[in-house]
Amino acid sequence: MDGRFVINERAEQVSIANGTQGKWRKDLVILTLKVDASTGVGTTALSTIQGTPAATQDAAKDPAYTPGDLSKGQYQAQVPIARVVLNGLTPTAEHALPTVSALTSENFEIISCEPPSGYSGSSKNLWHVWRSGASVTIHARVWLDAGIKNDSLLCPFLIPEGSRPPKVDSSKYNADGYENIYYNDAFCPNNADVISVLSVRPDGKIYMQDMGGKPSRDWRYGTLTYTVAPK
């Protein structure tokens, strides 16, 4: 976060204010990092910023927050980590990363490091995405646990809008959807008979997935680079 690693391995709770019947609202869950000016020690806290109710989902906008910039001598930075959308009284949570303006520039880096499901060791799933100019690189080291031929794992965040791979124009080409998926080979270091790929889609989703071959509850490694869709 803003050039510093923030690791949390316990559950956290935040409060969401009640919605309004017949109205849409978008709230942001905010991670705030404060740095003590005298010691340089940082502390973090979660909070919510409430949006303004609107008649439609499109009209409901994310509330403003203060990004901050620790690299420029400031002592506080904020990052939205989730958006909560309320349709009347009903809330749903979704990833906020794709719409954060700070991540839509031509240079960014996103890292997720979380304990894998079904794995008892200390190693963590790593998803690492960065952009430099028009190129975006995805690096992943993740554990697949289902033990089936077509096992897959979805990355916990999305590629930001404006940095996603191009989509095939179906009006010009007879595309059935698979042409919109970009693949590169991945491997299972302990089993050469596993057929795995790292893939990314124009909607920003990233998968590590098996494409048949021998099932294996084990680690997968992969890297993929693509050129951003032209504006």
Question: pLDDT tens digits for 144-191?
Answer: 999 998 999 999 888 887 888 988 777 777 666 667 889 999 999 988
Six token digits for residue 25: 């609202």
Cα distance between residue 46 and residue 33, in whole Å:
9
Asked whether residue 12 carries a pLDDT value surpassing 60, the answer given is yes
What's the whole-number mean pLDDT along residues 128-142?
93
- Give me the pLDDT at residue 143, please: 95
Cα distance between residue 118 and residue 40, in whole Å:
37
What's the whole-number mean pLDDT along residues 66-95?
80
- Give me the pLDDT at residue 180, please: 83
Amino acid at the residue 40: G
Cα distance between residue 85 and residue 56, in whole Å:
11
Six token digits for residue 119: 């794995």
Q: Are 143 and 118 in contact (CB under 8 A)?
A: yes
Question: Vertex 84, ends 114 and 68: CA angle to 5°?
Answer: 70
Cβ-proximal residues to 175 (8 Å cutoff; 6+ apart), any chain: 168, 169
Q: What is the pTM for the complete model shown?
A: 0.58
**Distance (Å) of CA 44 to CA 80, 156, 201:** 13, 21, 33
- Give me the pLDDT at residue 19, please: 92
